[in-house]
C-alpha cells in the first residue's frame, strides 16, 4: 500500500496524538449535539421552568441562593401544607439545588451576572454533555474497540429515553442524577478492575453525591452488591473485589448518612440490607480464602466453606427476624411496588395515580430507544464472549433495568444508559468488522480465539474476516441508514414529544399558525397580584408546586405527597356536596379554590379526568362518606351529562368546573370537548363559593370562598334569597329539634 500523507498522521506517536485529538473533538461535538438538541423548548417558547416538580426545585434553589446554605438546611416551610407546614430542609434531596447554587456563586465570583433561573433552566442540558462523556469512559472499560465508547457517548447524547427527563427547563433531580449514576458505575467498574482503594473511594464519593441528588440511588445501592454477590457465586473472589467493595461500602454508607433525608436508613431499612449482607459475606469469604492458604488439607477446606455458608445462612435468618420484629423497616412502599406489582394499586393509591408509575407498553420502548432496543440484546450477548468482571456487571444491570423499565415508565431512565452501552458494543463490533478497508486479520491471526469449551457456541470457529468488498459496502451502507434514521427519529421525538413545558401549551390554528395557550401563568399571576400575600389556595396536589413557585401563595397540598390524610381531606372537599365541603374549607382557612378545566378547549389533563383519583384517595380515609361507586352510573359509566349521578352533580369539583359554562353557549347546549358529551341544560348553582377568576381559555378557574353570612343564614338559603326565590313555608313541618352535631 502506498504511503500517503494521511498515513503519516495515523501511525506512530504522531498517530496516537492525532487520534487523541480527534477523539476529543468528537466528544466535544457529541456534547454540543446533546446540549443543542435539548434547547427546542427554549427556542420555541422561552427560558422557563417546566412541569410540576421543577417548580419546587426552582423555589428551593432561590431560597438557597438568598438565605445561604445553613438556613436552607434547616428550612421549615410554612407556606405549603397549610396548616401543617413542611420540614423542607430535612425532607428533600439537596444535591440539585446545591449544585446550581455552587455554579451560581462561581459565575458570580467570575463576575458573570447570570440569573439563577437561567442556570436552573440550562442545568439539565449542560449535565447531559457530561453524561455523554461519562458514558464514553464507562463503555471504554467494557471494550477494547476504540469506536464503542464514542458510539455509546453519541447514543446517550441524543437518545429520547434520556432527553425526556433532561430538556432545558426540566429542572428535576434526574437532570444531574443520570450523570452521577453513569459516572459512579464507571468508577465502580474501574475500581473492580484495578482493585484500587482510590477508585473505590472515588466511587463512594460520587455515590454520596448521587444519594444527595435522587431517591433512585437505591438502584446503585442494590446493583453493586448484586454484582459482587454474583461474582462470588461464580467463584471469582479476588482481593481486587474485596478492596473495592469494602472501600465503597464503608465510605459510601457514611457519605449517604450525611443527608438528613436519608439519615439512618442505610442501617435500618430493608432497601439497603443487601449491601450490608454482601459486606458481611465478603468478609467471610475473605477470611476463608485467607485460612485456606494455611490449611492444606482438603477436609479442612471443605469445613471452612461449610462454615462460611452456615454463618451466612444464620446471618440471613437474623436479618429476616430483625425485619419481622420491626427493628429493620420493611421495604419502602415505592420500592416494594416494583416487585409486587399489584401492591400500590391496593395500598397506596397515591402512587398508583401518578401517570409515570404506570407499566410500559412496547411502543414506549421503541419510541424512547429506537433501533437501540434491538441492538441491546445483541450487545448483551456479546458480553458473554469475554465475560470479565465488568461484563457481568453489564449483564446484571441489563436484565434488572429492563424489568424495572417494564414495570414503571419512569424507570426507562435507568435502562437507557445500559442500552446505550450494549448497543454500542454490538454496533462497534459490526463496524470494526465491516468498515475496515484492508482484508482483515486473515485466518492465521486468531486461531486461539474461542477454541475452549468455556466460550459461546458462536465463537468456536476461528475468525477469518470479511473477504468481499461488496459485503462490506452493503453492511456499511445499511448501518449508515439505520444511524441516520436514528438521528432523525431522536430529533423528531424530542421536538414533538419532549419539548413542551406543559406550563405553556401550544396548539395549531386551522390555518397552521401556532397558538400559544398561556392560561396557567395568567391565572397564577392573577393570584399573585390580586390576592393577599397569605391567602390560602386549595387545589389538587398536582398544582401545589406551581402555585408555590409562580403565584407564591400558601397551598394545602403539593406534589411532595408526604401526608396522605391531608391529600384525602382535599379530595373529600372536592368530591363532597357543598354543605359538607364548606366546613372543611373553613377549618383549613381556605380563601381560594383553584380547579383546572379543559372542557372548552379539549385539554384532557384536567381535574374532572383526575377526579376519580380524588374520590379514591378520599375513600381510603373516609370509606363511609365517599364511595367511588356513587360517581358511576348504574351501568358503570363515568358521565358528566344528564345521566351523571347525583353524587357527581352535587360534588364541589363538578360544580366548580361547569359553573356558568352554559352561558358561553347562547342558544345551543353546552358541550364538554374532553368527555365529548352534552351538558345538562341547567348549569350547577354554587352557594358557598363565588367565581373570582377564569382564565382566557377557561383552563384555570379560581373561586373565592364566601365568608359566613351576615344574617347567620346558611349559604344555600342566602343564595336562594338572592336569586329571588321566596323562602319556602315548609319549614313548619320540620321534625323534633335535635342537637346540632359537628
Q: How far apart are CB 471 and another protein at their closest, in Å?
A: 4
Nearer to another protein, 360 or 539 (CB): 360
Q: How far apart are CB 328 and another protein at their closest, in Å?
A: 21
CA 292 to chain centre: 47
Q: How far apart are CB 464 and another protein at their closest, in Å?
A: 5
Q: How far is CA 557 from CA 538, 571, 612, 625, in A?
A: 8, 10, 17, 21
Nearer to another protein, 28 or 346 (CB): 346
Nearer to another protein, 355 or 666 (CB): 355
Asked if 698 and 597 touch (Cβ cutoff 8 Å), the reply is yes
Nearer to another protein, 68 or 313 (CB): 313
Look at residue 455 and give its three-state secondary structure.
Answer: coil
Beta strand extents in 196-326 (DSSP E only): none
Nearer to another protein, 85 or 318 (CB): 318
Are β-strands 590-596 and 536-538 bridged in parallel, bridged antiparallel, or unpaired?
Answer: parallel
Q: How far apart are CB 387 and another protein at their closest, in Å?
A: 7
Nearer to another protein, 84 or 364 (CB): 364
Rounded CA gap, 176 and 54, in Å? 13
Angle between helices 412-434 and 174-194 (to 10 degrees): 60
Rounded CA gap, 544 and 536, in Å? 11
Q: How far apart are CB 742 and another protein at their closest, in Å?
A: 16
Burial of 386 (0-12, 13-18, 19+ CB in 10 A): middle
Contact residues: another protein, CB under 8 A: 341-342, 358-367, 371, 373-378, 380-382, 384-385, 387, 395, 398-399, 402-403, 405-407, 426, 429-430, 433-434, 440, 443, 454-459, 461-468, 470-471, 474-475, 478, 481-482, 485, 488-489, 492, 496, 624
Helix (H) or strand (E) holding 516: strand 514-517
Nearer to another protein, 5 or 235 (CB): 235
Enumerate residues 6+ apart whose C-beta is below 8 A from 659.
Answer: 683, 684, 686, 691, 701, 703
Nearer to another protein, 492 or 525 (CB): 492
Largest distance between two CA atoms of the chain: 114
The string of DSSP codes covering 32-53 is: HHHHHTT-HHHHHS-S---SSH
Q: How far apart are CB 431 and another protein at their closest, in Å?
A: 9
Nearer to another protein, 10 or 485 (CB): 485
Q: How far apart are CB 620 and another protein at their closest, in Å?
A: 12
Provide the b/e sequence for 347-358 (b: ≥16 CB within 10 Å). ebbbbbbbeebe
Q: How far apart are CB 474 and another protein at their closest, in Å?
A: 5
Q: Which grid coordinates are listed for 44? A: 420555541
Q: How far apart are CB 248 and another protein at their closest, in Å?
A: 25
Amino acid at each position: 500500500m502506498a504511503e500517503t500523507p494521511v498515513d503519516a498522521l495515523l501511525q506512530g506517536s504522531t498517530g496516537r496524538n492525532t487520534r487523541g485529538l480527534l477523539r476529543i473533538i468528537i466528544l466535544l461535538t457529541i456534547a454540543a449535539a446533546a446540549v443543542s438538541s435539548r434547547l427546542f423548548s427554549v427556542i420555541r417558547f422561552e427560558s422557563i421552568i417546566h412541569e410540576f416538580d421543577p417548580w419546587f426545585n426552582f423555589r428551593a434553589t432561590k431560597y438557597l441562593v438568598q438565605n445561604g446554605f445553613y438556613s436552607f438546611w434547616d428550612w421549615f416551610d410554612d407556606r405549603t401544607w397549610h396548616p401543617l407546614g413542611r420540614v423542607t430542609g430535612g425532607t428533600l434531596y439537596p444535591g440539585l439545588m446545591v449544585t446550581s447554587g455552587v455554579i451560581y456563586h462561581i459565575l458570580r465570583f467570575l463576575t458573570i451576572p447570570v440569573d439563577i433561573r437561567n442556570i436552573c433552566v440550562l442545568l439539565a442540558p449542560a449535565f447531559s454533555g457530561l453524561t455523554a462523556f461519562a458514558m464514553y469512559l464507562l463503555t471504554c472499560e467494557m471494550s477494547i474497540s476504540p469506536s464503542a465508547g464514542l458510539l455509546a457517548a453519541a447514543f446517550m447524547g441524543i437518545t429520547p429515553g434520556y432527553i425526556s427527563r433532561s430538556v432545558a427547563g426540566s429542572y428535576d433531580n434526574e437532570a444531574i442524577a443520570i450523570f452521577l449514576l453513569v459516572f459512579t458505575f464507571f468508577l465502580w467498574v474501574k475500581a473492580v478492575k484495578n482493585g484500587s482503594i482510590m477508585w473505590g473511594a472515588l466511587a463512594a464519593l460520587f455515590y454520596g453525591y448521587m444519594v444527595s441528588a435522587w431517591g433512585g440511588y437505591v438502584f446503585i445501592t442494590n446493583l453493586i452488591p448484586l454484582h459482587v454477590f454474583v461474582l462470588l457465586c461464580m467463584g471469582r473472589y479476588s482481593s481486587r473485589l474485596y478492596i473495592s467493595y469494602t472501600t465503597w461500602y464503608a465510605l459510601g454508607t457514611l457519605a449517604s448518612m450525611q443527608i438528613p433525608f436519608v439519615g439512618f436508613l442505610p442501617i435500618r431499612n430493608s432497601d439497603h440490607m443487601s449491601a450490608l449482607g454482601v459486606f458481611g459475606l465478603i468478609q467471610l469469604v475473605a477470611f476463608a480464602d485467607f485460612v485456606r492458604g494455611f490449611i492444606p488439607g482438603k477436609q479442612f477446606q471443605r469445613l471452612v466453606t461449610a462454615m462460611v455458608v452456615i454463618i451466612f445462612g444464620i446471618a440471613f435468618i437474623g436479618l429476616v427476624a430483625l425485619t419481622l420484629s420491626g427493628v429493620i423497616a420493611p421495604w419502602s412502599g415505592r420500592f416494594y411496588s416494583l416487585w409486587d406489582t399489584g401492591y400500590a394499586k391496593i395500598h397506596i393509591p397515591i402512587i398508583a395515580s401518578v401517570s409515570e408509575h404506570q407499566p410500559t407498553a412496547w411502543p414506549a420502548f421503541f419510541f424512547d430507544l429506537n433501533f437501540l432496543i434491538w441492538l441491546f440484546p445483541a450487545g448483551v450477548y456479546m458480553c458473554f464472549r469475554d465475560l470479565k468482571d465488568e461484563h457481568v456487571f453489564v449483564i446484571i444491570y441489563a436484565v434488572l433495568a429492563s424489568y424495572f423499565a417494564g414495570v414503571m415508565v419512569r424507570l426507562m431512565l435507568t435502562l437507557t444508559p445500559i442500552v446505550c452501552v450494549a448497543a454500542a458494543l454490538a454496533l462497534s463490533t459490526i463496524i470494526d468488522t465491516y468498515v475496515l478497508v484492508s482484508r482483515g486479520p486473515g485466518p492465521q491471526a486468531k486461531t486461539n480465539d474461542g477454541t475452549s469449551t468455556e466460550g459461546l457456541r458462536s465463537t468456536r470457529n476461528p475468525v477469518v474476516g470479511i473477504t468481499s468488498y461488496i459485503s462490506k459496502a452493503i453492511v456499511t451502507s445499511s448501518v449508515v441508514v439505520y444511524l441516520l434514521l436514528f438521528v432523525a427519529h431522536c430529533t423528531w421525538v424530542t421536538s414533538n414529544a419532549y419539548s413542551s413545558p406543559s406550563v405553556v401549551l401550544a396548539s395549531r390554528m386551522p390555518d397552521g399558525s401556532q397558538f400559544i395557550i398561556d392560561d396557567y401563568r395568567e391565572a397564577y399571576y392573577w393570584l399573585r397580584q390580586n390576592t393577599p400575600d397569605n391567602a390560602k389556595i386549595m387545589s389538587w396536589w398536582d398544582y401545589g408546586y406551581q402555585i408555590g413557585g409562580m403565584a407564591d401563595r400558601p397551598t394545602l397540598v403539593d406534589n411532595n405527597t408526604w401526608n396522605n390524610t391531608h391529600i384525602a381531606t382535599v379530595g373529600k372537599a372536592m368530591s363532597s356536596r357543598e354543605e359538607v365541603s364548606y366546613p372543611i374549607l373553613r377549618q383549613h382557612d381556605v380563601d381560594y379554590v383553584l380547579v383546572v378545566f379543559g372542557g372548552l378547549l379539549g385539554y384532557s389533563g384536567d381535574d374532572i379526568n383526575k377526579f376519580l383519583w380524588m374520590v379514591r384517595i378520599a375513600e381510603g380515609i373516609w370509606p363511609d362518606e365517599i364511595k367511588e361507586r356513587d360517581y358511576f352510573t348504574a351501568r358503570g359509566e363515568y358521565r358528566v351529562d344528564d345521566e351523571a349521578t347525583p353524587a357527581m352533580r352535587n360534588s364541589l369539583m363538578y360544580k366548580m368546573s361547569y359553573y356558568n359554562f352554559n352561558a358561553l353557549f347562547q342558544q345551543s347546549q353546552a358541550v364538554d370537548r374532553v368527555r365529548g358529551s352534552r351538558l345538562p341544560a341547567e348549569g350547577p348553582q354554587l352557594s358557598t363559593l363565588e367565581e373570582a377568576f377564569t382564565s382566557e381559555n377557561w383552563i384555570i378557574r379560581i373561586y373565592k370562598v364566601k365568608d359566613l353570612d351576615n344574617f347567620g343564614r346558611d349559604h344555600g338559603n342566602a343564595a336562594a334569597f338572592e336569586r329571588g326565590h321566596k323562602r319556602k313555608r315548609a319549614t313548619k313541618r320540620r321534625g323534633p329539634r335535635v342537637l346540632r352535631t359537628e
